[in-house]
Amino acid sequence: MKLLVLILFPLLFLFFAALTSGQSTGAAAPAPPGPTNLTAILEKAGRFTIFIRLLQSTKVADQIYTQLNNSNQGLTVFAPTDGSFSGLKSGTLNSFSDEQKTELIQFHVLPSYFSPSQFDTASNPLRTQAGGSEELFPLNVTASSTGNQVNITTGETNATVANTVYTDGQLAVYEVDQVLLPRRFFVPLPPPPPPLKPAQSPESSPGFGAPVVDSSSDANRLYKEALRAMACAVFVLASFT
């Protein structure tokens, strides 16, 4: 019996030692970092349900995901809260076409990374992912020198950055207290210029190919006939006198 114990004890000790070593080695391996996902960031923060839904339905979320994870391009996102959307005039969001909804979400995205302090030196108006002219998609940002107060104006909306949701040096997400409405949605577009009339060729010009009338020769002929008639009249009158 003692001999059996002396044989089994070292074997059991080696078994548990090997098992413990294997578990500690597996736990030490760090998990690989995941890709940057804007919607996951907003879901974790909460209160951005409507903005997330629009990001997904317009496919802007996919565009941002690709830009963040397939390039070194920085992005800045102004994220309106659900309360901001509730503050819109009734029916405003439903009145927008699918194209306008895409432009609306793109208007909340800057194609560059901005920290709060960088807004103080930004050159207005800032270019957004919506593109377009500065007159139709103006977005102006003003900030205090410390970046504690950041205000945004679009010509239709005056908003304030209420909070920094996320920042990592490539992506910055800021909570805003208003939905940023582009001026383009409320200003009628100028009518397109009328189409240019095609230039007329000489062949299509009125009177092309018609015989040219020499008006001077016709006048001489009529003048001579008038003189001849007067001479005849004078001759007739003279014969009766």
- Report strand pairing: 140-143 vs 150-153: antiparallel
Element spanning 177, H or E: none
pLDDT the model gives residue 183: 86
Q: What is the mean pLDDT of residues 55-68?
A: 96
Q: Tell me the β-bridge partners of 110.
A: 76
Tens of pLDDT, residue by residue over 94-115, are 999 999 999 999 999 999 999 9
* Structural domain contains residue 99: yes
Geometric angle at alpha carbon 143, from 141 and 145, rounded to 5°: 150
| Through-space distance between the first and last CA atoms of the chain, rounded to whole angstroms | 186
* Structural domain contains residue 8: no
* Structural domain contains residue 111: yes
Tokens representing residue 176 in the block: 């805003």
* Structural domain contains residue 160: yes
pLDDT the model gives residue 30: 39
Could you tell me the CA-to-CA distances from 82 to 7, 51, 73, 75, 154 in Å, in that order? 70, 7, 28, 22, 20
Q: Within its chain, how far is the Cα of 183 from the centroid?
A: 12
* Structural domain contains residue 101: yes
* Structural domain contains residue 170: yes
Average model confidence (pLDDT) across the chain: 78
Global model pTM greater than 0.85: no
Domain of 55 in residue numbering reads as 38-185
Residue type, 184: R
Please state which of the ranges 50-54, 109-113, 195-199 shows the lowest mean pLDDT: 195-199
The CATH number of residue 58's host domain is 2.30.180.10
Report the C-alpha gap between 77 and 176 in whole angstroms: 10
* Structural domain contains residue 72: yes
User: What is the count of structural domains for the chain?
Assistant: 1
Which residue would you say has higher pLDDT here, 127 or 209?
127
* Structural domain contains residue 195: no
Report the C-alpha gap between 11 and 233 in whole angstroms: 159
